[in-house]
Structure 1
Amino acid sequence: MRIYYTCDCCGEPIDEIEVEEVDDAKFGFDCLTAKERQDIIKVDTAAGIMQVQSLCDKCIEYLGFQDAGDRGTGHRFLH
């Protein structure tokens, strides 16, 4: 499956990878609620494509998240 990461803020492509199998834990998807998964991950199994909305480095910096990380803030970023 080909996974395309796109910035949810600016719309720019972040990266794309090809994987044999999507491992939810490996990609951090296991930490998402069902609603979060529905909002940020779109899968086209017939085409073998997954679209993932994340944040690019520029938008992370612009929004002030670069220092927050996951230090007890409750935020986990897939990017």
Structure 2
Amino acid sequence: MVTVNPILERDLKHEETIWNTVVIIGKHKKNHIPCVGDFNESTYYLEGNTGHPVFETAYGKIGVNICYGRHHPLNC
């Protein structure tokens, strides 16, 4: 079994930045922040700084799209 755990991460080392993060034997921060009309997540999240990691698991390789990332081809 591989567990994918979404969390809200408060980064005390970077002025209490809040990341939309997934933990899977490592972690991946959301790369793309939506700003559509009046909806703008950048008021509480920043873009991630972990790139697009691929996690090697006992069942195969896993890449994770967090929310809005599914709209960006480099995440597919």
- TM-score (normalised: structure 1): 0.24
Higher strand share: 2
Flag the structure with more relative contact order, 1 or 2, with Cα contacts below 8 A and sequence separation at least 6.
Answer: 1
TM-score by length of 2: 0.24
As a proportion of its length, which structure holds more helix?
Answer: 1
